[in-house]
Amino acid sequence: MSEYGVLLQQVINGLSLGAMYALLALGFTLVYGILELINFAHFNVFMVSSFIGMWTLEAVGISGQSHVLTGLALAGVLALAFAVTMLAGGVLGVAIERFSLRPLRKVRGPAAMITTIGVSYILFNVILLGVGAESKNYPNPMPVVRWQFGQVTLELREVLIWGITAVLMVALHLFVHRTRLGKAMRATAQDAEAAQMMGVDVDRVIVTAFFVGSALAGAAALIFGLYYNFTSFIIGYTAGLRAFTAAVLGGIGSVGGAMVGGLLIGLIESLGGQLIAVRWTDVIIFSILILVLVFVPSGLFGRATPTKS
């Protein structure tokens, strides 16, 4: 492979990584936009969802990578797996909000954020103790299809990741900008009290933000499993931290920013690894983050801090 071919291949790798980070970053950004709360439980909602996706696939009789489906059967199984995983992820997110965060809503200070860290550890340990520690071989019904363009290999699963991510993001954009509930979300993000006075049901908006954000984490989790063919109780940490960084880089609270931030982090990771060395990946990512925050404190696409009382 020539230098050019390798770089192009790394761009493809980076886009696939970035798509996953972006989906995960949206969950941070949606909740932050409305509650100004960094939800660390999101890391492990992602991790738990990947197991739910795995069990769903196993329930329809797929194990390992040897059961290959094609055509309608594949589409049906994938649609079912995505539906179940996203729904379960969403319900988990809503449950976290309802039972551990709503009672703290009126408490000032970092109590809610610390609570999300606690919830994160609970999810982590429930899976560790309940499912075990070893990496699980993820069931994957997708055939291995590769296209060769010159020196660059493109795989079916990469195209699927990009496609599914694009569809989900367009859907989210339409939801936020074209529906009544989306409008209520934007209003709450701008000023929760005023929105409430105008008749917006703030609780419903918050529940929606948690549901949508966690459902996207569910989608990201299933994509993760299908892409890497493994999952384990530990996957939430690195992916979650990178996605959170992506949300901050793009401008936390900004939906478009989370998408761009995710793709940027993915590309930085793969190209940085190629041109410098993988062991420096985190150093590169966080150096760029610090530089961006020094010069553009609200992130690339963040609005200037809104005036809040």
Among 83, 126, 234, 291, binds another protein (CB under 8 A): 234
Q: Give the x/- contact pattern for another protein in 252-291, rule: CB under 8 A.
A: -----------------xx--xx--xxx-xx---------
User: Contact at 8 Å (CB) between 7 and 25?
Assistant: no
Among 28, 43, 124, 301, binds another protein (CB under 8 A): 124
SS3 content of the chain, % helix, strand, coil (to 5): 75, 5, 20
Distance, in Å, from the CA atom of 281 to the CA atom of 86, rounded to the nearest integer, reads 30
Q: Which residues contact 82 (CB under 8 A, 6 or more apart)?
A: 164, 219, 222
Residue 5 has which token pair?
A: 């071919």
Distance, in Å, from the CA atom of 231 to the CA atom of 49, rounded to the nearest integer, reads 10
CB of 246 to another protein, least distance (A): 14
Given the rule CB under 8 A, which of 31-39, 60-68, 209-217, 295-303 is the region that contacts another protein?
A: 60-68
Given the rule CB under 8 A, which of 78-86, 133-141, 211-219, 249-257 is the region that contacts another protein?
A: 133-141
CB of 229 to another protein, least distance (A): 5
Q: Does 148 bind another protein (CB under 8 A)?
A: no
Q: Does 6 bind another protein (CB under 8 A)?
A: yes
Distance, in Å, from the CA atom of 218 to the CA atom of 81, rounded to the nearest integer, reads 10
Given the rule CB under 8 A, which of 8-16, 110-118, 181-189, 252-260 is the region that contacts another protein?
A: 8-16
Q: Does 134 bind another protein (CB under 8 A)?
A: yes
Residue 82 has which token pair?
A: 């995505």
Residue 111 has which token pair?
A: 């109590």
User: Contact at 8 Å (CB) between 25 and 261?
Assistant: yes
- The residue type found at 205 is V
Applying CB under 8 A, which residues contact another protein? 1, 3, 5-6, 9-10, 13-14, 17, 64-66, 124-125, 128, 132-137, 144, 155, 224, 228-230, 232-235, 237-239, 269-270, 273-274, 277-279, 281-282
